[in-house]
Amino acid sequence: MWLLGLLSNYLGIFIGGTVAWIFKGLQSKINTIYALCAGLILGLICMEIFPEAVKLGGWLVSIIWVIVGMLSFGLLHQTFNYQHSINTSNTKMYLQTGLVLLFSISLHNFPMGILIGTSLDGDIKNSVIQTLLFHSIPEGIILFTPFILSGIKYIVMLVVSLLVSLPVALGVYVGSFIGSDYWIISTSLISFTVGIILMVTITEILLPTLKKSSVLSITLFTILGILLIGLYLRII
């Protein structure tokens, strides 16, 4: 399971990085991919992941930990933004932005790994892994864009993708010791991760995309992503 989690995240990050490399001069194309992936993520959360958390531990615990996850991301995001803003080196700006994103994405991948590692039923594990894959594609685009602008070699993407995916494997290893008997832990982890993913999807994917492209176009592609994942979940 730890290998599956690592490979899913690695594949998503690498696909996103490759897309950023291919379409680095076509921002409109990247925005479309952002919106579609955001829709896939939101659809999986609303239709599969969060309902499972509610089923395991109830509304109160689930909502509390979603809020905790959102606040935790907000604190980390504010800290990273401050660290970046105090740096005045223009020549290293893109590289430092990439390193900050690398650290932040790696950090919030850890609780996702823990969630996969807990002994939950197969359906929720599959849903979380799917979320991890879809979630990692736009993250890869976001992560590698500043690295590409800083002159990174394509081969380095392999190493960076591995580094950002290792916390998933570590989280799975830790989660394997928790088990499903402690339902409140499972519910808390699911909800906490949902809170983080929601914040990342909104603040790092949708909002920046809306500023650079048509609101109508981004909305339509986001809705398309939600409908596609809904159809997929219905079929399987």
By residue range, what is the domain housing residue 122? 2-235
| Residues 148-185: b if buried by 16+ CB within 10 A, e if exposed | bebebeeeebeebbeebbbbbbbbbebbeebeeeeeeb
Residue 84 has pLDDT above 90, yes or no: no
Residue 167 has pLDDT above 50, yes or no: yes
> What is the Cβ-side half-sphere exposure of residue 229, based on CA atoms within 13 angstroms?
25
Give the 3-state secondary structure of 154-211.
Answer: CCHHHHHHHHHHHHHHHHHHHHCCCCCCCHHHHHHHHHHHHHHHHHHHHHHHHHHHHH
For the chain, how many structural domains are there in total?
Answer: 1
Confidence (pLDDT) at 229: 80
Find the range with the poorest average confidence among 47-56, 192-201, 227-236.
Answer: 227-236
- How many whole angstroms separate alpha carbon 185 and alpha carbon 204? 27
